[in-house]
Structure 1
Amino acid sequence: MIEISQNSGLLNPSDQCYFSGCPMWQHSQWDGSLCSPGIHQQKMLYEYSRAFNSVEGNTTFYATPTKERVKGWADLTPTGFQFCFKFPQQITHHLMLAGSQRETEQFLDVMGTIEDRLGSFLIQLPPGFSPQQIDLLAGYLDRLPKSFRYAVEVRHLRFFTNTNDSHLLDQTLSSRGIDRVCFDSRALFSMPAELAKADLLIADAFAKKPRLPVKPRAIAKRPMVRLIGLLTPQQNLPWLEQWADKFALWITQGRQPYIFLHTPDNRLAPQMCREFHKLLQQRLPQLAALPEWPGEGFPSQQGLL
Structure 2
Amino acid sequence: MWAHARWQGRLLPAGLAPGERLRAYASWCDAVEGNTTFYATPSRSTVESWAAQTSPDFRFVVKLPKPVTHEHHLMGADEVLRAFLDAIEPLGPRAHALWIQLPASFSPADAGTLAAFLHRLPRSHRYAVEVRHRAFFEDERSARLLERVLAARDAEWVPFDTTVMFQSPPASDAERDAWAKKPRVPRRSRALTGHPIVRYLGRDAEERTVEGWRPWLGTVAEWLREGRSPTVFIHTPDNADAPVLARRFHDEVRALVPDLDPLPTPMPLPEPDEPLTLF
Give CA-to-partner distance per residue, 1:87-141, whole Å, 9 cap, x none. 0011100111021222222211211232222111110000011111111100000
- In 1, Cα distance between the equivalents of 2:19 and 2:6? 15
Is 1:228–2:201 an aligned residue pair? Answer: yes
Per-residue CA deviation, residues 176-216 of structure 1 (Å, 9 max, x unaligned), is 110000110012122x22xx1x4111111100111101211
Please tell me whether the aligned partners of residues 209 and 236 of structure 2 are also in contact (alpha carbons under 8 angstroms).
no
Question: Does structure 1 residue 250 correspond to structure 2 residue 223?
Answer: yes
- The total of aligned residue pairs comes to 277
Tell me by how many angstroms 1:151 deviates. 0.2
Distance 1:302 1:290 in 2: 32
Which structure 2 residues correspond to residues 3-42 of structure 1 after superposition, within 5 A?
24-42=1-19
- Label 1:233 to 1:40 Cα distance change in 2 as closer, same or farther (>3 A): farther
How many angstroms does 1:157 deviate by? 1.0
In structure 1, C-alpha distance between the alignment counterparts of 2:10 and 2:190, rounded to whole Å? 34
- 1:55 alignment partner, one of 32, 53, 75: 32
Q: Deviations over 1:257-302 (max 9, x none)?
A: 111111111111111101101110110122243333214x545679
Partner of 2:267: 294
Whether 1:200 aligns to 2:200 is: no
Distance 1:221 1:164 in 2: 23
Identity between Structure 1 and Structure 2 (%): 38
Quick one: structure 1 residues 249 and 115, their matched pair in 2 at CA, closer, same or farther if it must change by over 3 Å?
Answer: same
Paired amino acid for 1:241 = R
2:192 matched to 1:219? yes
Q: 1:263 to 1:301 in 2, by over 3 A?
A: farther
Counterpart for residue 75 of structure 2: 98
Change (3 A) 1:221 1:288: closer
Q: CA deviation at 1:232?
A: 4.0
SS of equivalent residue, structure 2 residue 26: helix
Q: Is the 8 A contact 1:227 1:259 kept in 2?
A: yes
Q: What's 1:268 paired with?
A: 241
Distance 1:214 1:117 in 2: 28
Distance 1:274 1:114 in 2: 24
CA positional deviation for 1:233: 3.3
Taking the aligned partners of 1:139 and 1:152, their CA distance within structure 2 comes to: 14
- The reply on whether 1:284 has 2:261 as its aligned counterpart is no
Calculate the TM-score normalised by the size of structure 1: 0.85
Q: Distance between the aligned counterparts of 1:56 and 1:299, measured in 2?
A: 30
Equivalent of 1:89, from 43, 48, 66? 66
User: Which letter does structure 2 place at the counterpart of 1:144?
Assistant: L
1:72-87 maps to which residues of 2 (within 5 A)?
Answer: 72-87=49-64
Q: CA RMSD in A?
A: 2.0
1:3-50 deviations in Å (ceiling 9; x for gaps): xxxxxxxxxxxxxxxxxxxxx212122123321244344421011112
Alignment of 1:130-149 (within 5 A): 130-149=107-126
Change (3 A) 1:268 1:302: farther
Q: Secondary structure at the match of 2:109?
A: helix
Q: Supply the distance in 2 between the matched residues of 1:237 and 1:302 (Cα, whole angstroms).
A: 37
Which of residues 196, 206, 210 in structure 1 aligns to 2:183?
210
Q: Is the 8 A contact 2:19 2:53 kept in 1?
A: no
Contact persistence 1:233–1:275 (CA under 8 A): no
TM-score, normalisation: structure 2: 0.93
Q: Distance in 1 between matches of 2:61 and 2:41?
A: 14
Q: What CA distance in whole angstroms lies between the structure 1 residues aligned with 2:106 and 2:260?
A: 39
Q: 1:148-197: per-residue Cα shift (whole Å, max 9, x none)?
A: 0110000111111111011010111012110000110012122x22xx1x
Is contact 1:231-1:268 (8 Å) kept?
A: no
Cα distance in 2 for partners of 1:119, 1:143 equals 19
3-state SS of the aligned residue for 1:294? coil
Question: Which runs of no fewer than 5 residues in structure 1 stay unpaired?
Answer: 1-23
